[in-house]
Amino acid sequence: MPAETAIGPGAAPSRDDVAARTNGRRLPPWVATVAMLMPTYAWLTLAVILPLGAMLTFSFLSGTPMGRKEVFFTLKNYRAFVDQPYLVGVAWTSLLIGLWTTAICAVLGFFTALALVRATSGRVRETLLILVILPFWTNGLVRVFSWTMVIREGGFLDSAIRVIWADAPSTGFLYSLPAIVLGLVHGYLPYMVLTCYVALLAIDDSILEAAESLGARWWTTLFKILVPLAAPGLISGSILIFVPVIGAFMEPRILGGTRGVTLGTVIEEQFTAAFNWPLGAALSFTILAVVLAIFATFSGVLRRNAAV
């Protein structure tokens, strides 16, 4: 018989001995999972769920519950588009601004991403990508106010044109819908560029080489290959842009003036000037319902494209 190995007091315990001793005290796997997820869900509860819950409650009240006036639950705030017809025009203006901004960002962002993928490489591409996301590093208020110095009458744009044409009429278009769209495009274009860049970067070069070898013209390659394969990036970028744009209030307020009345500015006025928090909350949740409907519509399209 083989001699048994004696374990002295100074010998290290084997792996089996350690497992046998700790097996009875090992915690269930779900405890570790809960411990890791708890901080995240606690933060989401404090920062998202509780504020949304409070605003949802306010939206069903007859008044702001911060005075001596009696308040009660009502659905009147959700009838605002019926009781105040001017809000329909405001909503239509917000929708048009969102559609124009998204469409312009889609065209500019797609071709910018295409140039980055097909015409650059290495450090040149990295440098251009940094320039694309540069607006994210600047304060939004400063960025919007800088446009007022460019597009106002007698601004930098007028001065640059009159250097070439001394008697040129003023081209300033501050306090107009195009000025609002310009400011929004400047702020949200990087979203479209980045999403299209990721989608175009995933396209295999052999597909484009095969199309070229078969004699496909550039417009055929563009509309039959590149655009369909980059559709997930275009759809994702459109959602990321359209959703916040329809609720934006800073650009319409500064660049639009009296013409910059949108749902975002109306909601902001209800909370800051009119002190009608229930109506502002109801309008906010109306926009949220539209956003959720958009997500529900395009999520199926994205899943189908991913499956293909």
- DSSP codes of every residue in 64-114: -TTSSS---B-SGGGGHHHH-THHHHHHHHHHHHHHHHHHHHHHHHHHHHH
Domain boundaries, the chain: 25-59, 84-307
What percent of the chain has a predicted confidence (pLDDT) above 70?
89
Q: Which top CATH class is 84-307?
A: mainly alpha
Q: Can you tell me the mean pLDDT for 77-103? A: 91
Q: Could you give the CA distance from residue 111 to residue 113 in angstroms, rounded to a whole number?
A: 5
Buried b (16+ CB within 10 A) or exposed e, 36-63: eeeeeeeeeeeeeeeeeeebeebbbbeb
Helix H or strand E encompassing 193: helix 177-201
- Neighbouring CB atoms inside 10 A of 236's CB total 19
Q: Determine the length of the chain.
A: 308
Question: Residue 188: its pLDDT value, please?
Answer: 94
**pLDDT at position 148, please?**
92
In percent, the amount of the chain with pLDDT more than 90 equals 37
Q: Which range among 61-65, 106-110, 217-221 has the greatest average pLDDT?
A: 106-110
The pLDDT, as a whole number, for residue 5 is 47
User: Is the C-alpha dihedral spanning 16, 18, 22, 27 positive or negative?
Assistant: negative
In this prediction, residue 147 carries a pLDDT of 92
Decide which of 308 and 71 is more confident: 71
d(CA 137, CA 78): 38
pLDDT digits (tens, 9 = 90+) for 175-213: 999 999 999 999 999 999 999 999 999 988 888 889 888
How far is it, in rounded angstroms, from Cα 190 to Cα 112? Answer: 10
Buried (b) or exposed (e) across 79-117, using 16+ Cβ within 10 A?
A: ebeeeeeebeebbebbbebbebbbebbbeebbebbbebb
Is the pLDDT at 306 greater than 60, yes or no? no
pTM score: 0.81
Averaged pLDDT score across all residues of the chain: 85
pLDDT band per the 50, 70, 90 thresholds, residue 133: confident
Q: Cβ distance 108 to 192 under 8 Å?
A: yes
Q: Report whether pLDDT(18) > 70.
A: no
Which residues are within 8 A (CB) of 17 and not within 5 positions of it... i.e. 6 or more apart? none
